[in-house]
Structure 1
Amino acid sequence: MDIFVRGGDAGLWHLFYNGTWSNWTSISGATPIQGEPEAISWSPSRIDIFAWGVDGSLLHKSFDGVKNEWTPSNGFEVLGGKLGGPPKGVSDAEGSLHVIAYSRSAELVHLSYNQTLNTWSPQGNYDDLGTPPGGL
């Protein structure tokens, strides 16, 4: 079992249970986040973490349980900017992720990952899903 939280220092912290509890470990480096992170697993040996950066960026970090390593090893991969709220995500199949968040203009935006192609889609931007009926 893995637990991910935003700590009092605004960093991303990790705690896991594997028969006994680990110590809390900072996995964000010097990069602060706002809001609570989102953790998704699309296989027994993979965890993807998404966070809302203090500059509004969509931040990503993944854990490979086979190699026992985080990528990137320090900080985050920046997948885009201009978020107005924390990301939420889901995996619909092994090797497939979908991340949704509000933009600063209150529209839902979407980004997906395909492991087979090793790509985020759309690249360099988000799918704009529009404003939900009734607004925020």
Structure 2
Amino acid sequence: MLILKALHIIFVTSWFAGLFYLPRLFVNHAMVNDPATLERLVLMEHKLYRFMTPLGILAVGLGLWLWFGYGFAGGWLHVKTTLVVGLIAYHLYCGRLMRDFAAGRNTRSHVWYRFFNEIPVLVLVVVVFLVVLKPF
């Protein structure tokens, strides 16, 4: 089980790296008008999303494996699971935003993306405290 935990942490960390960086690319994308830069950002966003999606799947899959191995006990785990479902929705919404950027349909400002970029940071802070402290 410890190997599964280690792999889960590795994949969660890697997935979060993508969840932190992709919206930063959106900030830059919303600020530029140069066609060559826009094309490069579309390519970078697509490659990053394609790379981070399997990492998220592995993180969630290993988390489920650990959940079934240890059992679903404690209110903290219910909150963590809810936050993970929210992260999956965030990830999928990032995919939608990426496709909108690629099609030239972005309607939001770089300021909106700066705030949007902070959501996974807040979730990470809460999840780490829940997992370490198991407060309820």
TM over 0.5: no
TM-score (norm 1): 0.24
| Greater relative contact order, per chain length (Cα 8 Å cut-off, separation 6+) | 2
Bigger Rg, which one: 2
Structure showing the higher helix proportion among its residues: 2
Which of the pair is proportionally richer in strand? 1
**TM-score by structure 2 length?**
0.24
